[in-house]
A and B are shown apart, each in its own frame.
Chain A
Amino acid sequence: MFHLLKYALLFGVITTQASVIFAKDWSASELGVEVGSIIAQDSTLTVAANPSGQILISVPSEDFSLDKNFKIDLKFAEQPPRQVFVVWQTHLSKKTYQQGFNYLGEMAPAIDMRGIEGWSGKATSIELGFITGPGQKMSISGVRLFKPGVLDYLHDRWADWSEVKTWHPVDLNMYTGTKWNSTDPFPAQFFAMTGFCLVIVYLLLLRRRATLSGTALIIFTTWLALDSFWQLKLWHQVTKTTEQYGSLSSHKKVLASEHSAYAGFADAALPILNRQDARIFIAGTNDYEAMSTAYYLSPKNVFWDRRGIELPDASHIRSGDFIVLLRKNSVNYNPSTSLLSLPGNKGFRVEERLSHRVGTLIEVM
C-alpha cells in the first residue's frame, strides 16, 4: 500500500512537474581554480593537481537558494578523478560544509544532494574538489546545478536500472537490479506494483469475464518486462567476458584475470615449493590477498586461518616450512637479520626464496 501511494504521488508530480524547474549552467570558461594550476581554459578547463593530488574549482559567486532535491552534473572531458567533493558555505552561519562522493571514474557523474547535512537555506559559494594523483591533469567541460523534474527523474531511474556493471564478488550474494544500491524505487518493486495495478484494472474492467489465465498472462508479461533488464545485462557481461578471456588458454585466462598478480606469484613460487611434503603458511592481514594466494598455491598443503591467527605458535613451525609474507601482514620479520619472531621463541632463521610484488616467500632453516 505504501508503494501504491508513492507511485500515485509520483504520477501526481508528473502532471505538475513536466520538466526541469531550476537549472544553472556554467561553461568551462566561467569556472575559477582555487587549488591547482590552470593548463588551458577554453571550451574545457584543464587543471593540474597540486603535489597532494588536490584540485579545487569554484563556480561564479552568487546567493544560491539550496533545495534539498538539487543535483550537480559534472561533465569531464578526459579520464575523471575517482573522488569528488562538494564544498559550500552557508549565508547565515558562514559555516563551510563538505561532502565527498566516489564516482569510480564516471565521465558525467550526477551528484545527488538529497539528505546531505547542511544543504539547505542560502549559500554564498559552491566549490568542487577533486582527488587525483600529484600533478595529474583533469579536464572538465561544464557544471550544472539543477532541481530535477519528472523527466530527469525518469531518466535517472532508467539509467539506474539499465546501467551495466561488470561482475563483482558480491553479485553471488545479492542483486538489487540497480546501479546505486540505495536508490528507491527498485525495479522489482516498481514492476510488482505495476503488475498488481494492471491485474486490478483487468479484474475491474472484465469482472465476471476475467479469467485466471488472463491474470497469469499479465503477471507473465510483467515478469518478462522486468527480466528484460537482467537479460540485457547478462549479455552485456558475456560480451565483456569474451573481450577479456575469449580465445585464451587456461593459464592465460588466469593471467588475464583480476587475480593475475597472485597467479604470477604462484607461477614463480611453485617450482621452489617442489617438495612433496612442503607446508606453506600464508601470513597476511588482507583476506582477499591471502585467499587468492592460498588458492593459486593449491594443491600444495596450504595453511591459511581466515579471521584467525596469521601464523601459529613457534612450536608448530619446523625447518623446511615455507611462509608467504603478503604485502599486508603483521608478522615480526627482519629481512636484514633474516630472523622471524613468533610467540614462543626468540626467532627462526629463515632464507628469502622469492621476492614478488604480492609478497615474500621465505623458508625456515
Chain B
Amino acid sequence: MSTLYLTFGALSTFLPAWVLVSRLVPADIPSRNCLLGGYCILLGMVSTTIIMRALSTLGIPVTLISVASVSTLLLLAVRQIPLYVQGPHKPVTLHQSLPLNRPEKVLALLCLGLLASRGIAIGLEVYLRPVWAWDSMQHWTKQAKVFFEMRGVVPYVSIENWLELGGNGVYTNMHPDYPIATPLLQAWTAIVLGYWHSSLVNLLWPAMWLAIGLVFYSQARVAGANITVALAATYMILSMPLLNTHAALAGYADLLMSACYLGAVAAFYNWSQTRAPWLLTLSLMTGTSCLLIKNEGFYWFLTLLPGILLATAKHRAIMAWLAAGALGFMVFLYAVYPDLSVAGHSLADFDIFYRPDSWIPIYLSTLVHDNWHLLFYLFLATLLTTPFLGKKVMPILAVVLSAVALYLMLYVMTSNSAGAVQFTSLNRVALQLAPSLGFFTLIAYLALSDKKNISEAS
C-alpha cells in the first residue's frame, strides 16, 4: 500500500514540473530526458512546498488528496503554456555528433557503474537509517513532525515570543526565521505515506543527489561536452564525500540548496551562450528556489546578477557604473541602516571586521581534508587559466567569483567565522557551491578544448 501511495505522491510532486519543463525545453536538446528529470525533481519538490504553504494559508488541511488536486490543476494550467518558448538564439557547439571510440565507451560504462554503486549505497543508507543527523533532529525534522501532525504549516516564533504568547497556537525552535522547505518536504513524505516513518521521511534526499547528477550531466551536454566527458565530470561531482554524506545522512537543507544553485548556474551559463529563453527561465526558477531553502539562498541568487549584467550590458562603462552603484548602495545601507534585516540577518548582526583565524580552516577544508576530493585544486588551477579562456566564460566566471567572494566574506569578515574556526558550518555552506564550482571547471575545460581544436584546425 505504501508503494502505491508513494507512487501517487511522486506523480503529484513531479508530474506538473515534468510537463512544465518539457513544454519549455526544445525537442532537439541533447540528453533532454536527463535535463527534464533533473529540473523536474528540483522544481517539483520546491513547488510542492509552495502548494503546502498556500493550502495552509487558506486553512485547507495538507493531505495527499488536497495537494494532488492542486497539482492536477497546475498540470492542466502548465499544459496551456505554448511549446518551446523560442527566442533569438544561436545553436551551441556540440561535440556529441562524433561517435565515441572504444576507450571512451569503456570509460563511460565505468562511470555509470561507479555512479550506480554510489547511488545504491546512498539509497540503502537512507532507506535503512532513521533520522539521525544532529541539525535535522534539533531543527528541521522536529519541525516536520509538527507540520505532519497538524497537516499544515504552523507558526514558529522566537523563544521570547513563545513565552509571551504562552505557546498558544505557536511553536518555537532555535531558528524560527529559517525557510521551511526542508521540513515541509519531510512532512509531505510522511503525509504521502500516511504515517511518520523514521527513515522513509528522508526519501527525497537521494532524489536531490540524483537531481544534481542529472542537471550537471544534461547541462554539460548542452554546453558541448560529449557523453564520456559529461559522465566523467558528473561522476566526479557526485562522488565528493561531503556531498555523499549529506545525501546518506539525510535531513539537512544544504543538499537541496546545492542542487538548486547548480540548476541556476548551469542553466545561466548555457543561456549566456545561446540566449535561449527557456534556459534563463530554468535558471531564474531554480535561482529563486534557493530563497525558499535557506537564508543564504538570497545571496546565492544575487550572485547571478553580475553574470546577467556581464552577459547583457553592451558597454563596459554602464556595467562599471551599475557595479559601483550596487557597491555604493551596500555601503549606504551599512552606514545608515545597520539594523536593516536582510535574509534573516541584520548588517549589525554580521559584526563585520577582518578575522584572519578563518583562513587556516578554509585552507584545510578545501585543500587538505578530503571533503571535496580534488575539486578545489582543479578549481584553483582553472582560475589560473582564465586569461586563456576567452570572453564566453566571463559571465559564469563573474557568477562563480561572486559566490566565492561572498563565501570568503562570510567566514573571514563576519561573525560566522566561528563556523569556520570550529569546522561546523564551513563545509556545509561550501557544499551549496561545490557542484557549481565543478560545473565552471568543466566549462573551462571545454573552452580550452575548443581553443586547442580551433588552433590545431587552423
Interface residues of A (CB under 8 A from B): 167, 169-178, 186-189, 191-192, 195, 211-213, 216, 219-220, 222-224, 226-227, 229-231, 234-235, 237-238, 241-242, 244-246, 250-251, 253-254, 257-259, 277, 279, 291-292, 294-295, 298-299, 301-303, 305-306, 308, 312, 316, 318
Cβ-based interface call for B374 (8 A): yes
Q: Which residues of B contact A (CB under 8 A)?
A: 107, 114, 117-118, 121-122, 124-125, 128-135, 137-138, 141-142, 145-146, 148-150, 159, 162-163, 166-168, 171-172, 174, 195-200, 229, 232, 236, 239, 241-242, 244-246, 248-249, 252, 365, 367-374, 377-378, 423-428, 445, 448-449, 452
CB atoms of A173 and B370 under 8 A apart:
no
Q: What are 19 A-B pairs with beta-carbon distances under 8 A?
A: A169-B134, A172-B246, A173-B424, A174-B426, A175-B241, A177-B370, A186-B368, A186-B369, A188-B374, A212-B452, A216-B229, A216-B445, A220-B232, A241-B125, A279-B166, A294-B142, A298-B142, A299-B149, A303-B162
Complex interface: chain A residues within 8 A of B162 (CB): 303
Q: Are B244 and A245 interface neighbours, CB within 8 A?
A: no
Question: Does A306 contact B244, Cβ atoms closer than 8 Å?
Answer: no
A227 touches B373 (CB 8 A): yes
Q: Is the CB of B236 within 8 A of A175?
A: no
Residues of A within 8 Å of B448, CB to CB, are 212
Of B369, B372, B373, B449, the contact of A212 (CB 8 Å cutoff):
B449
Instruction: Say yes or no: B374 contacts A171, CB within 8 Å.
Output: no
- Rounded to whole angstroms, the CA-CA distance of A246 and B244 in the bound complex is 21
> A295 near B114 (CB under 8 angstroms)?
no
Which listed residue, B125, B200, B368, touches A189 by the CB 8 Å rule?
A: B368
Whether A295 contacts B146 in the complex (CB less than 8 A), given A175-B370, A231-B239, A245-B128, comes out as no
Tell me, rounded to whole Å, the shortest Cβ–Cβ distance linking A293 to chain B. Answer: 10
Q: Nearest Cβ distance between residue A229 and chain B, in whole angstroms?
A: 8
- Which residues of chain A are within 8 angstroms of B159 by Cβ–Cβ distance? 303, 305, 308
Contacts of B167 in A (CB 8 A): 279, 301, 303
Given contacts A175-B242, A299-B150, 15 further A-B contacts (CB under 8 A): A173-B427, A175-B241, A189-B367, A219-B378, A223-B239, A230-B241, A237-B248, A238-B121, A250-B195, A291-B137, A299-B146, A299-B149, A301-B167, A303-B162, A316-B166
If over half of A's interface residues share one DSSP class (helix, strand or loop), that class is named, otherwise mixed; here it is helix
**Cβ of B423: which chain A residues have Cβ within 8 Å of it?**
170, 173-174
Closest to B242 in A: A175
B128 proximity list for chain A (CB < 8 A): 238, 241-242, 244-246, 253
A303 to B171, CA, bound (A): 8
Judging by beta carbons under 8 Å apart, are A223 and B236 in contact? Answer: yes
Which residue, A187, A254, A259, A298, has most C-beta atoms of chain B within 10 A? A298
Measured CB to CB, the closest approach of chain B to A159, in angstroms, equals 16
User: Provided the pairs A230-B239, A242-B128, A301-B171 are in contact, do residues A174 and B374 lie with their beta carbons within 8 angstroms?
Assistant: no
A144 to chain B, nearest CB (A): 31
Pick the contact of A195 from B118, B124, B150, B374 — CB < 8 Å?
A: B374
Point out the residue from B171, B174, B248, B374 that lies within 8 Å of A219, measured CB to CB: B374
Q: Which of B134, B365, B373, B427 contacts A291 (CB 8 A)?
A: B134
Shortest distance in angstroms between A228's beta carbon and chain B's nearest beta carbon? 9
Q: Which residue of B125, B130, B369 contacts A253 across the interface (Cβ within 8 Å)? A: B130
The reply to whether A169 and B428 contact each other, CB–CB distance below 8 Å, is no
For A244, list chain B residues within 8 Å (CB).
128
Q: Which residues of A contact B114 (CB under 8 A)?
A: 224, 227, 231
Contact A295:B135 (CB < 8 A) given known A238-B121, A245-B130, A301-B171: no
User: Could you tell me if B374 and A223 are in contact, using CB atoms closer than 8 angstroms?
Assistant: yes
Taken together as a complex, chains A and B put the C-alpha atoms of A188 and B249 apart, in Å, by 22
- Nearest chain B CB to A315 CB, angstrom units: 9
Q: Which residue of B lies closest to A196 (CB)?
A: B377
* Given the contacts A174-B423, A230-B241, A230-B370, A250 and B200 also touching, CB distance less than 8 Å: yes
Q: If the complex has contacts A246-B128, A299-B148, are A227 and B198 also in contact, measured as CB distance less than 8 A?
A: no
Contact with B374, one of A192, A251, A291 (Cβ below 8 angstroms): A192
The 10 closest A-B pairs by CB, nearest first: A177-B370, A299-B149, A295-B137, A299-B145, A299-B146, A253-B130, A175-B241, A245-B128, A188-B370, A298-B142
| Contact between B135 and A172, CB atoms less than 8 A apart | yes
B198 adjacent to A175 (CB under 8 Å): no
- Known: A234-B244, A295-B137, A316-B163. Contact between A226 and B145, CB under 8 A? no
- Measured between beta carbons, the chain B residues less than 8 angstroms from A187 are 370
The complex places the Cα of A251 from the Cα of B130 at a distance, in Å, of 9
The listed residue with most A CB atoms (<10 A of its CB), out of B150, B198, B378, is B198
Given contacts A216-B445, A234-B118, contact A171 B427 (CB under 8 A): no
Q: Is the CB of A253 within 8 A of B198?
A: yes
Nearest B residue (CB) for A237: B125
Given A172-B134, A230-B239, A245-B129; A188-B369 close (CB under 8 Å): yes
Q: Which of A178, A241, A254, A306 contacts B138 (CB 8 A)?
A: A306
Give the residues in chain B near A169, CB-CB below 8 Å.
Answer: 133-134
Taking the closest CB of chain A, its distance from the CB of B137, in whole angstroms, is: 4
Min CB distance A294 to B, Å, is 7
Residues in B whose Cβ lies below 8 Å from that of A298 = 142, 145-146
